[in-house]
C-alpha cells in the first residue's frame, strides 16, 4: 500500500500544479481538476455493475452475469424513473465483453462460455436482443477481443460497418442492418498464422482515417497483442457498399512478420485495453486531435496521433507512461497495473481496483496530479468515455460516476513551457473569459522562449519574442547591446516599437525611432567604410597583381558585404515607411535631418525627405549632388509652383529643353509665367544663341497669355532671333493702348536700339507721337510718311506741320518738284498751300512749274479778301442796329415790389414818398435819401483826391475839386428843382431832365455798386 506520506506528497504536487499567479481566490485555485459526482440512479438489491459502455448519452450496463440494461440521459429526467422501470435484457450465456457503436444504437456482446456473439438494437426506452447468435469462422475457438466501428468515416446510410478481432488473430468485417448481419468476411487470414507462430494473443484493434473524416480514402489500422503493436496503412474504396477491407489487407497478404511494421513490448499480466481521445483541432479545422492509450505490462503506451505522419506517431514518437507503482508493493506483488484508463486532453486517469484508488497523470510531463482514494461508493470497475458528447464516466460495482473536468489547461501551459514546447504552451494558456490572465501567461511564455533562443544564440528569433515578453526593456537591451552584431538589437527595438500606441506612447515612439535610425546609420557607415576601403585598395593595385592576389573568397566576401549593405539599407527604408512612426517623423523632422546629416548619408537623407514629402529639401540635395535630372524628376509631378519659380533658374542652365517641356506641361490656370522670367534670363546668359525660351514664349502666346512682362520678353527675343516677326506681332495687337498686351514704350526703345524704323513708326503712331513718326518714316520712304500724316487724328495746325516736314524733306533731299506738286494736289493736303512751300525752296529756284499754283493762290486770296470786306460791312450794320435797340430799352424797367418794402437808408416805408428808386440788386431808396447820400459821397471822394495830390499842387487841386463838386451838386439841385416845379426849360422836355438826374445819382447802387466798393476802406462816419 502507498503510505500516508506518499499521499500527502502527491497532494502537495497537485496543489503546486493548481496554483495560479494572478492573485485569485486560493480556495478556487486549490480545487481539483477532476470532480466526480454520483448519478442518482437506483439499482435493485444485490445488483452488481460489472461493466459500462457509454456513447451519445446512451448507457449500456453489464449487471451481474447475464443482464444488460439500457439507460439514456436524453430519454427522461435522470432522477425520476425507478430502477424497475428500465428494461433488462438477459443474455443466454455469461457476458464477457460489451461494445457500443458511437451512435448508441447498436450493441455487440460476446459470451464467456459458449463464445457466442449477440447483437442488440438500442432505441428510445428499449433494448432489443437478436436471439440468433453470430458465429464467425468454422472454429468454435473464436473469442471476440475487440471491435472497431468504421462508420465515423464510412458514410453508409443504414448499415453499420465494424471490424471484429478475435484473440486468435482472426479479423472479420461485418455489415449490420437493423440488428442483422447482412455481410461478413474474414479480411486478413494471414494474421492468425502470424499470431500462432509468435504464440501471441490479439488484444485490440483500432481503425481510423489518417487526417480527417472528410478524407476517407487513406485509412490505417492498429492491432495490439500481448507482445506487440502492429501498424497497417493503405487505401480503401469508400464508394463500395461492403467488403471495404479485403483489398486493404490484401496489400499485406504475402507479408511475413519481419515485413510488417510493428513495435514489441515486454509481456505482462496486464489487462490490455485501448482508450482514445478524439476531437477536432478547431471548429474551423477538419484535422483531428487524437490521443491513443494502451495498457501494457511495461506501462501505459501513449501517443498523440499526428495526422501528417500517423506511422511515426505509433512506432517512433510514442511513450510509455509509468504507472507510478510503489516499489515495495511491486516487490511483494501486491500492486497490479490499472484495470482501466481514460484519456482527457492532457491527462490520463488510471483505475486501480485493488487499492480502491484512482490516479491522474499528466500526459505532458508524466507527473501525478491527483490521487483519489475516496471511492467509498464501491469498488472501481471501469471508465467509459462518451466521444460524441465529450463526457467522461466511470462506474463502481454499485454506482455510475460523472467526472467534471475543471480548467484542465490551467497548469499544462506551464508544463509545456518548462519542456520548451512553446507552441503548445501558447495553445493551452488561453482562457476565453479572462483575456488579462491569458496575456500574462503569453508574456511569461515569451520570456522563457526568448531566453531559450538567446542561449542557443538564435538572437534574431529571440529579439522579436522579447518584445512581447515580461522581461524588462533594460535587461533585454543590455543583452543585445553586448553583442557585436547590432541587428538583433535593431529587430528587438522595432518589435517593441510595433506594440506602442501612438495616442499614449508618443515619447517612447520618438526615442525608439531616433535610436533605431542611429543604429541603422552606424551599421551602414561601418559597411560603407569597409566596402570603400576594399575598393580603394583594389584600385591602387596593378591589374596583374590584383588578379593574382584577389582570391575567390575575398571576392565572395566583398560581394557579401555589398549585399549586406544593400539589405540593411532596404530594411532602413522599410522602417521609415512604417505607419506607426509617421506622426513622429513629421513632428521631429528636424531631428531626423540632423541625425542623417551627421552621418553624411545623402542617399538616405534624400529618401527620408521624399518620404515626409519635403520635396524642396529633396531638390536641394539633388542639386547639391549635381544630379539635375533627378531634381527635375522630383520637381515635375509637384503642384507647388513656388518651387518651379525658385529652382528653374538653376535647372535651366543644365537641362533647358527638359525643363521647358515641363513648363509646357504645367502651363494652366494658376501657373504664373512671369515668375519664370529670372529663369529665362539665366537661360539667355547661359545660351546666348539658344531659342528654347523663344519657343516657350510662342507657346504661351498661342495659349492666350496676356501678361505684359511675358510679351515684353517675347519682343526682346524676337529682336534677337526673329526681328522680321515683330511687325506682324505688333500689327496683330489692337491699337487701343488699354488693350495691348505689351509695353509700347519698352517696345519702341528696343526698336530704336536695333534700328527697326518701320516698327518705330508704328509704335510712334500708337503712342500719338506723330511728329516723331513722320520723321522716322521719312528715313524709310515718302509713302510711309504720307500715310502717317494722312491718318494722324490731330488738329489742322499740327497736321499742317507734318505735311510741311514731308515737303521740306522732299525739297531738301531730292528737289523732286513733281513730288512736291503731288503733295500739294493731294486731297489730304488741303491745309498746305503753295505759299507755305515756297519759303522752303532755295532763293534761286525757278518758279516756272509753280506759276499756275501761285496765280491760283493769289486769286484765292483776292476772293477771300472780298468776302471779308462784305462780312465786315454786314457786321458794322448789325452793331448800329444793336445800339439803337439798347438805347430804346435802357430806360425800360419792369419790377414788382411789396407795399411794405422800406428804404435801405432811412428804413421808412418806400411808398411814403412819390419818388423812389429800385435797383436790381434788391436795394430800394427814397429819392430824397438817395440825393442826400450821393452829395455826401461826392464831397468825401473829392477830399480824398486832394490828399492824394502832390504837395506842390495842393492849392490848384483844391480849387479844381471844389469847382467839380460844386458843379455836380448844383446840377443835381437844379434838376431836382425843375422836376419839382414840373416846368421844363424851353429847349428840353421833362423826360430828358429826369434821365440826366438818373444818370448822375442812379447809375449804380450806392450800397453795392462800384462807388460802394471804392469806399470800403473808409469809416462809416465819414460818409454819414
Cell triple for 853: 499754283
As to burial, measured by CB atoms within 10 angstroms (0-12 exposed, 13-18 middle, 19+ buried), residue 1004 is middle
pLDDT of 965 reads: 61
Q: 555 and 547 in contact (C-beta within 8 Å)? A: no
Residue with cell 429800385: 918
**pLDDT for the residue 146:** 94
Q: Which helix H or strand E contains 973, and what residues bound it?
A: helix 954-981
Q: How far apart are CA 826 and CA 783, in angstroms?
A: 13
pLDDT of residue 446: 94
Using DSSP, state whether 722 is helix, strand or coil.
Answer: coil
* Cβ atoms of 348 and 321 closer than 8 Å: yes
Q: Which pLDDT score is estimated for 392?
A: 94
| Predicted local confidence at residue 442, as pLDDT | 93
Measure Cα distances from 514 to 205, 519, 612 in Å: 66, 9, 15
Q: Are 135 and 147 in contact (CB under 8 A)?
A: no
pLDDT score for 913: 84
C-alpha closest to that of 670 among 640, 635, 712: 640
Contacts of 658 by beta carbon, 8 Å cutoff, 6+ apart: 629, 632
CA dihedral 899, 901, 907, 913 (to 10 degrees): -40
pLDDT in tens, 17-33: 333 333 334 344 557 88
Cα atoms found within 13 Å of the Cα of residue 474, Cβ hemisphere only: 0
What is the Cα–Cα distance from 174 to 184, expressed in whole angstroms? 4
CB 604 within 8 A of CB 572: yes
Query: What are the φ/ψ torsions at residue 478 (nearest 5 degrees)?
Result: -65, -40
- State CA 869 to chain mean position distance: 99
Task: Please give the Cα distance from 713 to 717 (Å, whole number).
Answer: 6
Alpha-helix runs per DSSP H in 381-505: 412-418, 422-428, 435-455, 459-466, 473-481, 487-498
What are the respective helix, strand and coil percentages of the chain, to the nearest 5? 50, 20, 35
Looking at the DSSP assignment, which residues form a beta bridge with residue 58?
55, 72
How far, in Å, CA of 534 to CA of 527, rounded?
11
Strand partners, 321: 300
Question: How buried is 503 (Cβ within 10 angstroms: 0-12 exposed, 13-18 middle, 19+ buried)?
Answer: exposed
CA angle 339/347/41 to nearest 5° reads 60
CA–CA separation, 411 and 425 (whole Å)? 10
Let me know: does 232 contact 315? Beta carbons within 8 Å.
Answer: no
- pLDDT number for residue 656: 93
* Residue from 892, 890, 889, 923 nearest 906 by CA: 923
What pLDDT does 953 receive? 46
- β-partners of residue 206 are 222
- Give the separation between CA 869 and CA 551, rounded to whole angstroms: 129
Q: CA-CA distance, 485 to 523, in Å (whole number)?
A: 9
Chunked into runs of 10 residues, the chain (1024 residues) has average pLDDT values of 44 37 41 86 90 95 94 71 74 94 93 90 90 78 90 80 93 91 92 90 93 84 94 90 90 88 76 83 70 90 92 93 69 70 93 84 89 76 91 92 88 90 91 90 94 93 92 93 90 90 83 92 85 53 51 69 88 89 89 90 88 92 92 91 92 93 84 91 92 92 90 93 91 81 92 91 88 86 82 75 77 68 62 65 60 70 85 89 74 72 89 84 86 80 53 45 64 77 74 77 82 72 52
Residue pair 170/136 in contact (Cβ under 8 Å)? The answer is yes
The DSSP line for 130-166 is EEEEE--SS-TT--EEEEEE-TTTS--SS-EEEEEEE
Helix residue ranges, H only, 69-211 = 189-198
Strand order in the sheet with 34-38: 34-38, 400-405, 391-396, 380-386
Instruction: State the pTM of this model.
Output: 0.60
Best CA proximity match to 417, nearest among 409, 291, 18: 409
Q: How many residues does the chain have?
A: 1024
User: Is the separation of the CB atoms in 54 and 17 below 8 Å?
Assistant: no
What is the SS3 assignment for 595-663?
HHHHCCCHHHHHHHHHHCCCHHHHHHHHHHCCCHHHHHHHHCCCCCHHHHHHHHHHHCCCCHHHHHHHH
pLDDT of the residue at 25: 41
348 neighbors 361 (Cβ within 8 angstroms): yes
Whole-angstrom distance, CA of residue 995 vs CA of residue 383:
166
3-state secondary structure of 712: helix
Residue-wise DSSP of 682-701: HHHHH-TT--HHHHHHHHHH
Amino acid at each position: 500500500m502507498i503510505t500516508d506520506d506518499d499521499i500527502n506528497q502527491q497532494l502537495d504536487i497537485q496543489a503546486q500544479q493548481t496554483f495560479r499567479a494572478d492573485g485569485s481566490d486560493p480556495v478556487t485555485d486549490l480545487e481539483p481538476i477532476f470532480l466526480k459526482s454520483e448519478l442518482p440512479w437506483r439499482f435493485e438489491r444485490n445488483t452488481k455493475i460489472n461493466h459500462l459502455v457509454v456513447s451519445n448519452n446512451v448507457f449500456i450496463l453489464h449487471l451481474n452475469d447475464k443482464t444488460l440494461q439500457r439507460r439514456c440521459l436524453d430519454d427522461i429526467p435522470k432522477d425520476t424513473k425507478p430502477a424497475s422501470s428500465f428494461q433488462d435484457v438477459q443474455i443466454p450465456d455469461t457476458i464477457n465483453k460489451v461494445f457500443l457503436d458511437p451512435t448508441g444504437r447498436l450493441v455487440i456482446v460476446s459470451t464467456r462460455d459458449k463464445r457466442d456473439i449477440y447483437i442488440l438494437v438500442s432505441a428510445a426506452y428499449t433494448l432489443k436482443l437478436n436471439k440468433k447468435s453470430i458465429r464467425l469462422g468454422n472454429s468454435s475457438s473464436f473469442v471476440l477481443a475487440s471491435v472497431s466501428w468504421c462508420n465515423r468515416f464510412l458514410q453508409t446510410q443504414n448499415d453499420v460497418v465494424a471490424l471484429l478481432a478475435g484473440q486468435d488473430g482472426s479479423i472479420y468485417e461485418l455489415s449490420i442492418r437493423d440488428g442483422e448481419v447482412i455481410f461478413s468476411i474474414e479480411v486478413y487470414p494471414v494474421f492468425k498464422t502470424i499470431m500462432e507462430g509468435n504464440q501471441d494473443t490479439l488484444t485490440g484493434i483500432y481503425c481510423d482515417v489518417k487526417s480527417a473524416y472528410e478524407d476517407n480514402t487513406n485509412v490505417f489500422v492498429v492491432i495490439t497483442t500481448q507482445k506487440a503493436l502492429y501498424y497497417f496503412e493503405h487505401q480503401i474504396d469508400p464508394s463500395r457498399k461492403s467488403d471495404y477491407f479485403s483489398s486493404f489487407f490484401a496489400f499485406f497478404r504475402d507479408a511475413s512478420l519481419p515485413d510488417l511494421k510493428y513495435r514489441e513490448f515486454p509481456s505482462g499480466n496486464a489487462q490490455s485495453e485501448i482508450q482514445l481521445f478524439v476531437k477536432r483541432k478547431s471548429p474551423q479545422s477538419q484535422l483531428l486531435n487524437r490521443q491513443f492509450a494502451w495498457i501494457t505490462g511495461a506501462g501505459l503506451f501513449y501517443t498523440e496521433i499526428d495526422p501528417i505522419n500517423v506511422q511515426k506517431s505509433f512506432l517512433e514518437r510514442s511513450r510509455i507512461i509509468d504507472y507510478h507503482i510503489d516499489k515495495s508493493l511491486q516487490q511483494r506483488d501486491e500492486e497490479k497495473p490499472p484495470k482501466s484508463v481514460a484519456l482527457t486532453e492532457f491527462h490520463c486517469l488510471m483505475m486501480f481496483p485493488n487499492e480502491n484508488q484512482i490516479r491522474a497523470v499528466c500526459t505532458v510531463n508524466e507527473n501525478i496530479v491527483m490521487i483519489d482514494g475516496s471511492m467509498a461508493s464501491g469498488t472501481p470497475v471501469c471508465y467509459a468515455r462518451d466521444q460524441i458528447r465529450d463526457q467522461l464516466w466511470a462506474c463502481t460495482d454499485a454506482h455510475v460516476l460523472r467526472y467534471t473536468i475543471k480548467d484542465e489547461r490551467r497548469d499544462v501551459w506551464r508544463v509545456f513551457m518548462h519542456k520548451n514546447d512553446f507552441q503548445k504552451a501558447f495553445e493551452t494558456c488561453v482562457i476565453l473569459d479572462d483575456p488579462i490572465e491569458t496575456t500574462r501567461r503569453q508574456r511569461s511564455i515569451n520570456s522563457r522562449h526568448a531566453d531559450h533562443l538567446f542561449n542557443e544564440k538564435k538572437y534574431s528569433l529571440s529579439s522579436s519574442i522579447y518584445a512581447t515578453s515580461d522581461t524588462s526593456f533594460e535587461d533585454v537591451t543590455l543583452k543585445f547591446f553586448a553583442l557585436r552584431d547590432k541587428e538583433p538589437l535593431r529587430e528587438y527595438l522595432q518589435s517593441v516599437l510595433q506594440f506602442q500606441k501612438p495616442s499614449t506612447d508618443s515619447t517612447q515612439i520618438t526615442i525608439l525611432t531616433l535610436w533605431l535610425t542611429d543604429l541603422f546609420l552606424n551599421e551602414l557607415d561601418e559597411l560603407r567604410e569597409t566596402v570603400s576601403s576594399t575598393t580603394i585598395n583594389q584600385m591602387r593595385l596593378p591589374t596583374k597583381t590584383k588578379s593574382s592576389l584577389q582570391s575567390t573568397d575575398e571576392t565572395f566576401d566583398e560581394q557579401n558585404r555589398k549585399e549586406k549593405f544593400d539589405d540593411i539599407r532596404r530594411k532602413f527604408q522599410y522602417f521609415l515607411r512604417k505607419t506607426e512612426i509617421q506622426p513622429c517623423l513629421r513632428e521631429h523632422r528636424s531631428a531626423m535631418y540632423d541625425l542623417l546629416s551627421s552621418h553624411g548619408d545623402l542617399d538616405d537623407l534624400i529618401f527620408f525627405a521624399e518620404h515626409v514629402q519635403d520635396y524642396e529639401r529633396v531638390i536641394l540635395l539633388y542639386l547639391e549632388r549635381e544630379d539635375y535630372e533627378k531634381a527635375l524628376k522630383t520637381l515635375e509631378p509637384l503642384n507647388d509652383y513656388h518651387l518651379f519659380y525658385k529652382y528653374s533658374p538653376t535647372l535651366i542652365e543644365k537641362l533647358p529643353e527638359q525643363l521647358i517641356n515641363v513648363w509646357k506641361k504645367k502651363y494652366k490656370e494658376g501657373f504664373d509665367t512671369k515668375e519664370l522670367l529670372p529663369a529665362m534670363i539665366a537661360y539667355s546668359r547661359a545660351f546666348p544663341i539658344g531659342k528654347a525660351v523663344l519657343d516657350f514664349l510662342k507657346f504661351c502666346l498661342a495659349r492666350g497669355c496676356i501678361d505684359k512682362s511675358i510679351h515684353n520678353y517675347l519682343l526682346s527675343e524676337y529682336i534677337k532671333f526673329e526681328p522680321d516677326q515683330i511687325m506682324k506681332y505688333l500689327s496683330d495687337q489692337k491699337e487701343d493702348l488699354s488693350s495691348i498686351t505689351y509695353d509700347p514704350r519698352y517696345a519702341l526703345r528696343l526698336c530704336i536700339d536695333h534700328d527697326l524704323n518701320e516698327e518705330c513708326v508704328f509704335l510712334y503712331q500708337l503712342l500719338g507721337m506723330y511728329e516723331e513718326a513722320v520723321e522716322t518714316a521719312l528715313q524709310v520712304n515718302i509713302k510711309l510718311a504720307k500715310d502717317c500724316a494722312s491718318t494722324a487724328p490731330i488738329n489742322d495746325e499740327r497736321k499742317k506741320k507734318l505735311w510741311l516736314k514731308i515737303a521740306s524733306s522732299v525739297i531738301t533731299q531730292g528737289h523732286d518738284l513733281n513730288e512736291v506738286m503731288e503733295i500739294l494736289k493731294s486731297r489730304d493736303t488741303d491745309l498746305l498751300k503753295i505759299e507755305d512751300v515756297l519759303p522752303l525752296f532755295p532763293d534761286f529756284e525757278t518758279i516756272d512749274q509753280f506759276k499756275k499754283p501761285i496765280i491760283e493762290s493769289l486769286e484765292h486770296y483776292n476772293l477771300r479778301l472780298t468776302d471779308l470786306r462784305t462780312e465786315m460791312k454786314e457786321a458794322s450794320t448789325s452793331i448800329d442796329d444793336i445800339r439803337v435797340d439798347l438805347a430804346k430799352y435802357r430806360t425800360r424797367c419792369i419790377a414788382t415790389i411789396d407795399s411794405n418794402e422800406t428804404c435801405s437808408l432811412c428804413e421808412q416805408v418806400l411808398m411814403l414818398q412819390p419818388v423812389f428808386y429800385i435797383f436790381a440788386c434788391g436795394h430800394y431808396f427814397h429819392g430824397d435819401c438817395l440825393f442826400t447820400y450821393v452829395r455826401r459821397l461826392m464831397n468825401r471822394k473829392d477830399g480824398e483826391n486832394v490828399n492824394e495830390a502832390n504837395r506842390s499842387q495842393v492849392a490848384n487841386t483844391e480849387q479844381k475839386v471844389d469847382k467839380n463838386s460844386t458843379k455836380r451838386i448844383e446840377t443835381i439841385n437844379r434838376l431836382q428843382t425843375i422836376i419839382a416845379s414840373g416846368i421844363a426849360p424851353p429847349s428840353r422836355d421833362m423826360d430828358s431832365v429826369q434821365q440826366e438826374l438818373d444818370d448822375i445819382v442812379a447809375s449804380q447802387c450806392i450800397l453795392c455798386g462800384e462807388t460802394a466798393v471804392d469806399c470800403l476802406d473808409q469809416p462809416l462816419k465819414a460818409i454819414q
